[in-house]
Amino acid sequence: MAEQTTDADAGVDSDVRVGVRTRTLSESRLRYIRQLGATDVFVDHADTDEEPDEFNDRDGAATVAVGRDSIPSVERLAAARERVESQGLSLTGIQSLPYSLYGDIMFDREGKEEALEQIRTLLRNLGEAGIPILGYQWNPRGVVPMRTTPAELRGGAEGTAFDLEEVEDPDALAPGLDRAYTEAEFWENYEAFLREIVPVAEEAGVRMALHPVDPPVLESMGGIPRLFRNVENFERAMETVPSDNHGLKLCLGCFSQMGEDVNDVLRRFAEKDQIVFIHFRDVVGTVPKFNETFVDEGNFDTAGAIRTLHDVGFEGAVIPDHVPKMEGDDDWRHRARGFTVGYLRGVIDTVRSS
């Protein structure tokens, strides 16, 4: 096994680390991440049901395929971890559970029992392979656009944006639905999911991390409740099946979109040790209209948020989530991602030294 990075080598706080999400684990991508000084890698897998072409022309060792009837084996996961570690990095988790694995559970449809069993298998395999985190969300795909017309940022960079006025009819039923679902139904289905899955996560030694709905606007869109649109609903999620193995993939951008004070949110969940890892991004504006921007701009103060994490004793990774598109960027937006990693590392070092 390759020697792991040290604090002095990585140049970042030993408590607050900087990670990166990436779909490919190619050697060139991992070398680039290592050169940036990031330490943690989260696999941003492709859903094999929704994106089968992603696996046609790729090095099989450089991807982690996850989907319905496509659960990676312990051996495959361990090989991915070793591949990441060979570049002096840590494979800390799978970024998110694909919709093909939780959709039937969310709607209480035929096939949910099979899906539950596959998620149990995935958790057990992750635990055996030594990969400690599985992110997930409770958000349907293809209902309304996550984003609308992009925004122009400084120097002509491009940031994603959302404006509810650009959504033609948010109350129209989503494709494939024959009726609207109630919030009570969705809570019942979600809580049943937790009761089935959280005990398995505990046995496997894997922490599950819940992401907010994005955009966190309206109680329901397309006939589908948007449960995780506010702080109170996250607290309910954490209290339903209390566990050290269930927490938040705390997206600062989403809470900023809600109009929340992100420092208050960080303290609120950190005091109960419910933050598993953090999506570090920001926006200008709040729902129903906002746009994403560079990490050094936006609604909240980046240094203030890092100081709060330091003060509450957070031990984990902050990772750039969505980043703007800069001049010369590739599809992964390597330049903007590199800028964000460097900026966060500099702020972390400054806060720690002060």
Distance CA 50, CA 43 (A): 17
Task: With CA atoms as reference, report the closest residue to 97 among 208, 199, 176.
Answer: 208
How much is the average pLDDT of 288-315?
Answer: 97
Domains of the chain by residue range: 7-353
Give the HSE-up count for residue 9: Cα atoms under 13 Å, Cβ half-sphere.
10
Higher pLDDT: 175 or 339? It is 339
Rounded to the nearest integer, the mean pLDDT of the chain is 91
Where does the pLDDT of residue 207 fall: very low under 50, low under 70, confident under 90, or very high at 90 and above?
A: very high
| Highest mean pLDDT pick, 9-18, 65-74, 299-308 | 299-308
Ranges of H-type helices in 161-298: 183-204, 231-240, 252-257, 262-270
Q: How many CB atoms lie within 10 A of CB 75?
A: 11
Q: Which DSSP symbol is given to 327? A: T
| pLDDT score for 316 | 97
What Rg do the C-alpha atoms of the chain give, in angstroms?
19
pLDDT of residue 171: 87
Range from 57-66, 185-194, 259-268 carrying the lowest mean pLDDT: 57-66
Contact yes or no for 259/215 (Cβ under 8 A): no
Tokens of 18: 């900087």
Average pLDDT score over residue span 289-316: 97
More confidently predicted of 171 and 182: 182
Can you give the pLDDT at residue 176? 85
CATH number for the region 7-353 comes to 3.20.20.150
Cβ-based burial of 43 (10 A; exposed 0-12, middle 13-18, buried ≥19): buried
- How far apart CA 97 and CA 25 sit, in angstroms, is 18
Token readout for 17 is 């680390």
Return d(Cα 33, Cα 213) in angstroms, integer. 28
Residue 126's CB: how many other CB atoms inside 10 A? Answer: 24
pLDDT greater than 90 at residue 277: yes
The model's pLDDT over 132-166, given as tens digits with 9 standing for 90+, comes to 999 999 988 766 678 999 999 999 999 999 999 99
Mean pLDDT of 200-211: 98
What's the pTM value of the predicted model, to 2 decimals? 0.92
Higher pLDDT, 258 or 48: 258
Helix ranges (H only) for the chain are 7-10, 27-36, 74-85, 99-106, 112-129, 183-204, 231-240, 252-257, 262-270, 302-312, 334-353
337: helix, strand or coil: helix
Is residue 14 predicted with pLDDT exceeding 50? no
